Structures are given as structure tokens and as C-alpha cells.
Amino acid sequence: MLLIERTAWTVQGQPVVTSDELLAADREELLYEVPAGDRMRLVRSVDDLQAAMITVAREARECLVAVGSRSRDAGYLDAIEQVLKERPRLVHYRILVGPPHHLVFKNHLFRLLELRDPASREHGIQTLFMGMVEDLVREPERFFVANERSAVITLPSLNTAGYFDTGIVVDHPQEAQGLLQHAKALYYGTTRLEDARAVQALPVLR
């Protein structure tokens, strides 16, 4: 007999789903129930997830954070680069959680350094922060992008293992600011990747 402990998962303190409800569903897939309202919505396709992430990047005005090491969508990475070109005072935090998984992402890191010099104080502040979390036991892998008003948090796929096609779109400044602070706190425990030699030394996992 299989015994499963009753557990309740939450998003922003709101109940999401219990293990009893998972059993009652009688199907082998993850279930998410996002609280009703305008603050959050669930997306469950690659196109919708990528579009939401691109929107967050394009709409950043003061700060843009991106956390994760698996990015390979050229449109999303290009949106980040383009907004940095258009808004020279925009502060960008790029936090890797482990080495890059794809060469396209490593090349994106080089382009960020071409666009911004982390040592520069041309606008009175540092505008590019890049670092990598190396202790994946203490700091497990996570994925999100956020600006000062909205964010996208990537979740385990609703469709199949190995996919990155499901996420929660957060459209509220309070929650978005919380994710900005999350990324900034992660940065202070990272190994810095703020020159081309440090990026060049990174292995590509795939």
C-alpha cells in the first residue's frame, strides 16, 4: 500500500493543491491552481511562456533580473540585450545557478559584457551585475525573470518531464519587488562573472 503524506503547497502564501487532491485527480500530471485575480496567471505552453518572459524584459524601466542557467530562446535573450541598449541606466542582474547549459546562453553573457562594463560608473551606479551560484546543494536551481512591476516564474512542466513550458506570470509590483530582492541577495553569494575571462572559463554543459 502506498502512503502519501498530506501536504499543501502554496504560491505567495495562497493554497495551491494538496496531495489528497492529486490522488483524487486520478492522473499522472502536476496540477496548479493559481489564486483568482489580476495578480497572477498560469501559462502552460512554450509560446505563452516565452512571450511572457520577453514582455517582462521589454517593459523593464529601472531594474531587470534574470535567474537561471538554461536559457536558449534567442528571442528572449535578444529582448534583454535590446532593452539594455535602449535604456543605459537600466540595472541588470544576471544570476547563473550552475554553469550555462547551452552555448547560445554563454554567448549572451559575452554580449552583455560588450554592452555594459560592470566596472563603469558612467551613470553614477553599477548597471551590470553578473555572478554564478556554485553550491547547488545549498542554493538549488531556480528560474525567473522580473522587473520592478512584473515577473515570470518557471515551474515544473504540466506537459512532460524535461520541458520548460509552464510558469506563473506575476503582474503586481509588490511580488515583483520581492523577486528583485531575491535575485540581489543571491548575487552577493555568487562567484563574479564580470569580465570576459571569467565567462570564457565557464564550461557549457550540453
Structural contact between residues 82 and 90, judged by C-beta atoms closer than 8 angstroms: no
What's the CATH number where 187 sits?
Answer: 3.30.870.10
CA distance 42 to 153: 10
Tens digit of pLDDT for each residue in 35-74? 556 789 999 999 999 999 999 999 999 999 999 999 999 9
CA distance 136 to 178: 22
Identify the domain containing residue 22 by its residue range.
4-8+12-36
Is there a domain that residue 83 lies in?
yes
Both 48 and 62 in one domain: the answer is yes
Both 172 and 127 in one domain: the answer is yes
Both 20 and 84 in one domain: the answer is no
Is there a domain that residue 205 lies in?
no
Both 144 and 179 in one domain: the answer is yes
Both 111 and 19 in one domain: the answer is no
E strand or H helix at 23: helix 19-25
Both 140 and 172 in one domain: the answer is yes
In the chain, how many domains are there? 2
Both 50 and 60 in one domain: the answer is yes
CA distance 186 to 180: 10
Tens digit of pLDDT for each residue in 86-125? 999 999 999 999 999 999 999 999 999 999 999 999 999 9
pTM for this model (two decimals)? 0.82
Both 18 and 87 in one domain: the answer is no
